[in-house]
Amino acid sequence: MLGRIWIVARRDFDAVVRTKGFVIGLLFMPLMVLLSTQLPKLLERFGERGDRRVAIVDLTGRLEAPLAAWAEQRNARPGEQLFLRLEGVAPPGLATGPALSLQAARAALEGDLAERVRREELFGWLIIGRQVADLPPPPGDAEATAAHAAESKLAYGAVSLTTGNLRQELRTAVRDAARSQRLAAAGVDAAVMARVDVDVPFDEFVVAKQVKTGDDGVVRSSGMAEAMVPMGLTLLLLMGIMSSAGLLLNATIEEKSNRVVEVLVSSVSAVELMAGKLIGAFLTGLITLLAWGAAGAFAADHFNMLKADTLAVANLAWYAWFFVGGYLLFGAIYLAIGSLCQSIQDAQNMMLPVVLLIMLPMIGHSHLLEHPDSALSRALTFFPWSAPMTMPTRIAQSPPPPTWQVAASAASVAFGVLVSIWAAAKIFRIGIFSSGKPPKLRELWRWLREAS
């Protein structure tokens, strides 16, 4: 019996893994991870090089010098390839320049500056409003506030607003220079203010509910890792389970519609055929999960989001248990549906309850991350058809759930697997020989009661 089951499993496995689609899907995630982690470094070598000349029209009369000093420091950064060259342009009517409005300066200068850009003499220009470096008026004076706001703007024009991120860099540099001027106007030393305005470091720790011998149970953690790693793990398990189950559904429907299944059943029993198909699709899903999981772990470690105990041996064992259990739960259901249908269209009409079961843990995932020990979270981890996606999320969080909850969830999945395989086997034995429209729920219930 085991030999015949293995023959069916190997046949289904070979039929999938030798296709181009499987190889492409297998390599997709590792390639995406490789690109996301290594491509930025590679692209830096091929980034734009050279000078970007920007005209500066300083209506304040006070910011051109600090901006020039900033540009010099910026260009001296290690590895810098795109250099910023600032060119001071005097406002029209030099004697009255500082009193010139931003609107008047734009009207007088933008035409000539734009023409210089078109001749490639300039990359762009920046006109600084005359009150950018001034303190805003006190609250309550609406007219003065409106006038100050109108003259506290920057006007920027360039060939591109994204090249080298110069737009944002200039905006930040003007803000910092104007801030120093405003502090000086208020009688505050800018150097002292820089020392005062230092961000307070924020170390985060998770206190475990259960303390191991020789351990205080306090672990440095990260809020980002607490959310992203469990979410990624859940999606990874879900994709692995659904891709394998989807293969079962499509292969079963195709073999039934082509009457290949009748030839197979002449050599093996219906139960052996079903078991072989489950094992064959599981092996293909396992290969995909291992490849994608390794890529995901590399990405998480690259971005410093992988906690030390996430890939502990005990946790890996639980992840494997819930993956196998989740696959068998949904794989058996997909296999039963495939045995009842003559086409993919028929299967789609019967998939609504299964889709709801699949979406149930995803709908409650945000609640699970924020309230891992709530009544709803516990219910999701104890319900057999949602536990495979929700309990691994809780295991990856800090602190993890008590051992008894993990064991209870694993037991519920095992019970669900037994129920799913028992029901699927009875339906499969009859369904693979049926024809016409899929049976109604009442007829399925009769099959479950009467099939031996």
Report how far residue 155's alpha carbon sits from residue 106's, in angstroms, rounded to the nearest whole number: 8
Segments in 18-120 forming alpha helices (H): 20-45, 64-75, 102-118
User: How far apart, in Å, do the first and last CA atoms of the chain sit?
Assistant: 19
Residue 411: per-residue pLDDT: 94
The tokens for 362 are 């995803």
Q: What does DSSP say about strands 205-207 and 124-128: parallel, antiparallel, or unpaired?
A: unpaired
pLDDT of amino acid 95? 47
Omega of the bond leading into 399 within 30 degrees of 0 (cis): yes
The encoded tokens of residue 206 equal 């998770």
Distance, in Å, from the CA atom of 400 to the CA atom of 406, rounded to the nearest integer, reads 9
The C-alpha atoms of residue 313 and residue 330 are separated, in whole angstroms, by 26
What is the predicted pLDDT for the residue at 211?
54
Residue 107: other Cβ atoms inside 10 A: 11
So what's the pLDDT on residue 443? 74
Q: Report angle CA 342, 347, 353 to the nearest 5 degrees.
A: 150
Average pLDDT score over the chain:
80
pLDDT tens digit sequence for 193-216: 878 888 887 777 666 555 555 555
pLDDT score recorded for residue 71: 92
Question: Which residue stretches of the chain have pLDDT < 70?
Answer: 1, 38-48, 93-98, 163-164, 205-227, 262, 304-309, 436, 450-452
Give me the domains of the chain, ranges plus CATH numbers: 49-196 (3.40.190), 224-450 (no CATH)
